[in-house]
Structure 1
Amino acid sequence: MSDTTQLHHQVTEVLRDKIVDGILRPGTPISERELCEELGVSRTPLREALKVLASEGLVQLFRNRGAIVSPISVEMIEDKLAVIAALEGFAVRQVCLQATNDQLKDLENLSRQFSRQFDSGKPEQYFDLNQSFHHRLVEMTGNSVLIDMHSLLSRHVRRPRMEGVRHHVPTAEVLEEHEAILKALLARDAVSAQAAVERHLRRVAQTVVQYFRSR
């Protein structure tokens, strides 16, 4: 990776974190001059980073008028979470059919780690552990198209999901839902695995959407 590409990725990560963590709020104008000074970079890597974040739905670009942090659309969140549920429903069916026993064991170990480290008082840690489980599920399919689509949509909804998690304390119900998914996978019961993961993600979507609609 060239120094220019690495710098571009670093700037993208910093800006993404600022938006996801709520430091840059929805609708906030993005000052290129201020960010260049803060990050110690030229406008070229910053503008490349903004293009990436625009593709993720985090930034809106306007010709000759700069950029703003994208407003959060409840309807868009709901639609994207529904598609993620469908993708993961397909993924678990494939995992039941083709995953090796060692792969399922690795997933079981990841799930156990999530259970041991679950702490409703640490929303960021909870979110990262939870995402690791779901991303691993999709990666086990080996389907590059599915993996890319799931990764892109997951980045799109990371900001509203993080905000929802911070204001809605996760409960042990999450652990029970993950256990149901894992149990079906270990039994290679594709129908039950799909039902379990879609039920879990529907509840997640309802929680996030209800939070934003009640603000």
Structure 2
Amino acid sequence: MSRGWSDTELARRVAAELPDGACVNLGIGLPTAVAGHLPAGVDVLLHSENGIIGMGPDPLPGQADPDIVNAGKKPVTLVRGAAIVHQADSFSLIRGGRLDYSILGALQVSAGGDLANWRVPGAKGVGGVGGAMDLAVGAKKVLVMMRQTGKDGQPKLVSECSFPLTAPRCVSTVFTDLGVIDCTHEGFVVRELAPGVTESDMRAAVSGPVQIRLQ
């Protein structure tokens, strides 16, 4: 048996965390896959910061509409009753505290819930934090969805972020290919391990205080 969740399985696990009636922003990258894995019977309103309220899953092959894209310019669909709004109105929704959840990718998350997801020091290009800073502080709860280690094998869960911060102490829970980890005042608390992942595997992939409290 393979160790951990695939990207598809991870998207399904994150989707299962969302309660009926929630208003949820899906960030660029891995989080966009959540749209295609919402449980049957659960009504979740998906938001994209470029102005979509009522975003659906990816279009079927050959059915993409070039005028309907998410914030990462990836083709998406609209659910029945969806609205297309000005980006200023979209950010009013975010800054007004109307988002229940924001699901973001990350480069690093600290044990205290600090988020760094926009720039790797020394990388080419300046880049910009964009709307992530609004999403990180405007949502009632921030979830991070990412692979637990980088391409270099280094843990992304760290005692203190060494990359530029997007926002401090904003992350509630991190979902990775290895498990589900809450950010608490005690540090990282693992509440679920993905299939095939041992406690030793998890500890080896965290650079920071971590406790295992499986539920």
TM-score, normalisation: structure 2:
0.21
Larger proportion of strand: 2
Larger proportion of helix: 1
TM-score, normalisation: structure 1:
0.21
> Which structure would you say has the larger RCO, counting Cα contacts within 8 Å and 6 or more residues apart?
1
* Structure number with bigger Rg: 1
